[in-house]
């Protein structure tokens, strides 16, 4: 599996044992009502031979992994209603492949955002000192110049470009939500709000309310999920590896 970081003792475990461990470090009950974290594919009594952690799951991962693999991902493969299983279409095409190989899938989404991901990215990756944290928003206070802040964010997240709404030469407070957090702009309570997937009308609203927003990308701000979780899994006596999730977008310079 590409991107392997650590190999742990290779013994089998019940899926339920791993699930219970995940529930302890990031309780599934914390997930939002609209979310679908938890068991997506599999059965609790199944023996699993290895764990593969990744932001998302794709066909290559499924084909490369052996039977009885448990995938633990951030984004639920089944999200919303699933009224039919047309195996030529996503996500049914991936579900069929996993079922045929007796593979399992668990998602840690909005619960993991609250317990691990947001704080890790804000502190460990971007280097801010948290002064307050709500379930999905981290905040820092200080003094940053416009170009200084944007350059640091761009470099630390590996972004080639930044989309910015509003411009404040001096910024005294920064808030962040990984993934798609524009809907939380009213709760940001900061001069500058960092998040991904900012839509046009979100931008218009932010501009009218004098809120500086920076689109830090959905994938780019959440791609640290696997390395965070892998570090937690090191206490389990089972092979755990990390797969490199693919960014569905790429930059095209014509």
Domain of residue 18 covers 13-111+222-242
Judge if 80 and 51 occupy the same domain. Answer: yes
Judge if 106 and 139 occupy the same domain. Answer: no
Domains identified in the chain, total number: 2
Residue 216 lies in a domain: yes
Judge if 104 and 179 occupy the same domain. Answer: no
Decide: 220 and 196 in contact? Cβ < 8 Å. yes
pLDDT above 80 for 166? yes
Q: Supply the CATH number for residue 32's domain.
A: 3.40.1390.30
pLDDT value for 8:
41
In this structure, are strands 212-215 and 50-54 parallel, antiparallel, or unpaired? unpaired
Q: Range with the lowest mean pLDDT among 128-137, 168-177, 240-249?
A: 240-249
* 3-state secondary structure string across the chain: CCCCCCCCCCCCEEHHHHHHHHHHHCCHHHCCCCCCCEEEECCCCCEECEEEEECCCCHHHHHHCCCCEEEEECCCCCCCCCCCCCCCCCCHHHHHHHHHCCCEEEECCHHHHHHHHHHHHHHHHCCCCCCEECCCCEEEEEEEEHHHHHHHHHHHHCCCCCEEECCCCEEEEEEEEEEECHHHHHHHCCCEEEEECCCHHHHHHHHHCCCEEEECCHHHHHCCHHHHHHHHHCCCCCEEEECCCCCCCCCCCC
Q: Distances in Å between the alpha carbon of 44 and those of 20, 54, 105?
A: 10, 20, 11
pLDDT above 50 for 7? no
Give the span between the Cα atoms of 252 and 221, in whole angstroms: 20
Q: Nearest CA to 157 among 191, 129, 120? A: 120
Judge if 142 and 100 occupy the same domain. Answer: no
Judge if 235 and 197 occupy the same domain. Answer: no
Judge if 119 and 209 occupy the same domain. Answer: yes
Residue 5 lies in a domain: no
Residue 71 lies in a domain: yes
Give the model confidence (pLDDT) of 216-236 as tens digits: 999 999 999 999 999 999 999
pLDDT band at 6 (very low <50, low <70, confident <90, very high): very low
pLDDT value for 193:
98
Q: What is the chain's mean pLDDT, rounded? A: 94
Judge if 62 and 117 occupy the same domain. Answer: no
pLDDT value for 162:
94
Judge if 77 and 53 occupy the same domain. Answer: yes
Residue 7 lies in a domain: no
């Amino acid at each position: 599996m590409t991107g392997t970081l650590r190999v742990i003792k290779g013994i089998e475990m019940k899926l339920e044992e791993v699930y219970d461990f995940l529930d302890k470090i990031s309780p599934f009950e914390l997930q939002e009502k609209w979310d679908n974290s938890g068991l997506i594919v599999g059965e609790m009594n199944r023996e699993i031979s290895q764990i593969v952690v990744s932001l998302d799951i794709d066909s290559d991962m499924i084909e490369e992994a052996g039977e009885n693999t448990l995938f633990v991902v951030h984004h639920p493969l089944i999200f919303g209603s699933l009224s039919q299983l047309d195996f030529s279409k996503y996500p049914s095409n991936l579900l069929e492949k996993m079922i045929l190989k007796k593979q399992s899938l668990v998602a840690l989404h909005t619960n993991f955002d609250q317990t691990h991901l947001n704080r890790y990215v804000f502190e460990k990756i971007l280097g801010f000192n948290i002064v307050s944290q709500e379930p999905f928003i981290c905040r820092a206070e200080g003094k940053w110049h416009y170009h200084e802040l944007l350059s640091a964010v761009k470099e630390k997240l590996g972004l080639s470009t930044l989309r910015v709404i509003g411009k404040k030469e001096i910024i005294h407070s920064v808030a962040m939500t990984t993934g798609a957090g524009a809907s939380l702009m009213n709760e940001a309570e900061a001069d500058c709000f960092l998040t991904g997937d900012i839509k046009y009308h979100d931008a218009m609203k932010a501009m009218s309310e004098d809120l500086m927003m920076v689109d830090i990308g959905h994938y780019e701000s959440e791609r640290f999920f696997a390395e965070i979780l892998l570090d937690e899994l090191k206490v389990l006596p089972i092979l755990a590896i990390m797969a490199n999730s693919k960014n569905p977008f790429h930059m095209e310079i014509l």
